Amino acid sequence: MFCETCRNAIAFFYKYIGWVLVTAILITACHGGSPQNPSLESGRSLSTDCRVVEHAVGKTKICGKPQKIAVLEPKMLSMILALDVQPAAYADAYSVRSPQFDNPSQQIPYLGNFVNSQPINLGDRSQPSLESLTLLKPDLILGLNSQDNQLLSAIAPTVLINNQQNWQDNIQIVAKALDNQKNIPSIITSQEEQLAKVRTQLTTLVKTHPRVLNIACSQSMNYIEVTYNGDTIELLEKIGLLLFLTRINRHICLSICLLMKKMLQHYWNLHRCTSVIVREQLTGTNSLNSWNLQF
């Protein structure tokens, strides 16, 4: 019975989560540190229109309206697109064997249709190319706090957001960095309206298939992570869906892992999935238990 439930939950998840995530991205996209190196900042500092932006890893002084924006992560890309700003450079979660995103609709998942520029390819978001950034000489670098690197702020003013913070707070940080805050209220209102429409459209689905299992896979598909927090979970819960498992034990964890491995092997003919990570939120705390099962 449990295995059958797991299969149904996983099948449901893969059938509908892609559509839900694309909807979430469309909702956002359609609306549209540390001290810096003085030698690289001299040209920008000529402007008297300066502001200090507080973000996840400190404070950054930004002068004028940045024109050349380097974006180090997909979530940050969705935010600047919502603010009607185009990237000059971009680091994605997926490898693209091209020095430039010259066909973004085909090269950038989900968001590519909204990218009108042809941004420089900075490589993998986990290790964006510092050499390409230096050659680009951006006015601003935007990324996540997990990407914190003092070398970034030596290249250009750098603003990093906390991935665990809600998007409404994060987009206000980004908007201040871009000197583009006037549309924030309308973006938030529009997102809420679109979310209400989606909730209505999925009413029947939520009643018949209320529980979901949130899965994240590496690009190489060599591990799978079952997660219980983040933007995806927040979105699903607002739609009315429930997490498939809020508390798990090692026996359930093993069953999930084996089912997902079989699913990968059956549907994608993948036999190199070596591990599955399941993170459990500890009741009454912000801590997580992580179990890594090797195959």
For the stretch 153-185, pLDDT in tens is 999 999 999 988 888 999 999 999 999 999 999
Residues 251, 198 contacting (CB under 8 angstroms): no
The pTM score is: 0.70
Residue (of 63, 56, 128) closest to 92 by Cα position: 128
Residues 60, 53 contacting (CB under 8 angstroms): yes
Q: Regarding the domain with residue range 33-182, which homologous superfamily does it belong to in the CATH classification?
A: Nitrogenase molybdenum iron protein domain (3.40.50.1980)
% of the chain surpassing 70 pLDDT: 62
The pLDDT tens digits of the residues spanning 20-79 come to: 343 344 444 444 444 444 334 434 445 568 999 999 999 999 999 999 999 999 999 999
Find the Cα–Cα–Cα–Cα dihedral 104, 99, 147, 151, rounded to 10°.
-140
Most confident segment among 140-144, 195-199, 257-261? 140-144
* Domain range list for the chain: 2-25+206-294, 33-182
Q: 3-class SS at 84? A: coil
Residue (of 74, 105, 100, 76) closest to 89 by Cα position: 100
Who contacts 189 (Cβ-Cβ below 8 Å, separation ≥6)? none
Residue (of 293, 295, 207) closest to 248 by Cα position: 293
What are 30's two structure tokens?
């359609």
Would you tell me how many other CB atoms lie within 10 Å of the CB of residue 239? 21
- The three-point CA angle 174-180-182 to 5° equals 115
Q: Are strands 223-226 and 215-217 parallel, antiparallel or unpaired?
A: antiparallel
* pLDDT at residue 266 in the model: 62
Q: Are strands 288-294 and 58-63 parallel, antiparallel or unpaired?
A: unpaired
Among 19-28, 137-146, 235-244, whose mean pLDDT is lowest?
Answer: 19-28
At residue 252, does pLDDT exceed 80? Answer: no
Q: Are strands 50-55 and 223-226 parallel, antiparallel or unpaired?
A: unpaired
> Dihedrals φ, ψ of 59, to 5°?
-130, 140
* pLDDT at residue 76 in the model: 95
Q: What's the pLDDT band for 19 if we cut at 50, 70, 90?
A: very low
Residues 83, 183 contacting (CB under 8 angstroms): yes
- The three-point CA angle 109-110-115 to 5° equals 90
DSSP 88-141: SEEEESS--SSSB-SSHHHHSTTTGGG--S--EEEEETTS--HHHHHHH--SEE
* pLDDT at residue 85 in the model: 96
* pLDDT at residue 25 in the model: 41
